[in-house]
Amino acid sequence: IVQRVVQINGEAAATVQSEPIRLQAIKTGAAQAAVPTAAEAGADLHLVLYWQADAPVRGSYTVFTQLFDRDGALIAQQDNLPVEGLAPTNTWQPGVLIRDAYRLVLPANSPAGTYQLHIGLYDDAGRLQLTLADGVSADHVVVAVEVN
């Protein structure tokens, strides 16, 4: 399995527009690998998000991770407060890197193809707007995952 870390020119993958939060890097993988961009149908897709606050964060936000198949259907999802609820965003100390792990289970009958992994933050008011590494504004980061 090929390993991959999503980071562009050493810059964060995304920054939150309304809070001093950066998504520094995204590592995706299967259970046996640290960071692949490919996964097997029926296997677990593991991902690790690396967050960092530049100043105190006011709100407590939920992280969403969603995997969409090649037809755009949602097939796997995990939403929770960072670090399985142990590190709410409003407790983050500026400058401290937060390692936040997730596991998405791919259905055994998933057809091969390019899937999209969506990652972002939300609260009761909705999704937070992000500025992606390429300067585009969006409410989630997209990572391509090849399913075999």
**Quick check: helix, strand or coil at residue 105?**
strand
Which pLDDT tens digit goes with each residue over 15-35?
899 999 989 888 776 443 333
Strand-pairing partners, residue 96, are: none
- How far apart (Å, rounded) are the C-alpha atoms in residues 59 and 99? 19
Domain 5-147, architecture per CATH: Distorted Sandwich (2.70)
| Position 94 pLDDT exceeds 90 | yes
Which pLDDT tens digit goes with each residue over 48-62?
999 999 999 999 999
- How far apart (Å, rounded) are the C-alpha atoms in residues 66 and 36? 17
pTM of the complete model: 0.85
- Looking at residue 25, its pLDDT comes to 82
Neighbours of 110 (CB within 10 A): 20
- Looking at residue 12, its pLDDT comes to 64
Higher pLDDT, 120 or 11: 120
Residue among 64, 81, 72, 80 nearest 119 (CA): 64
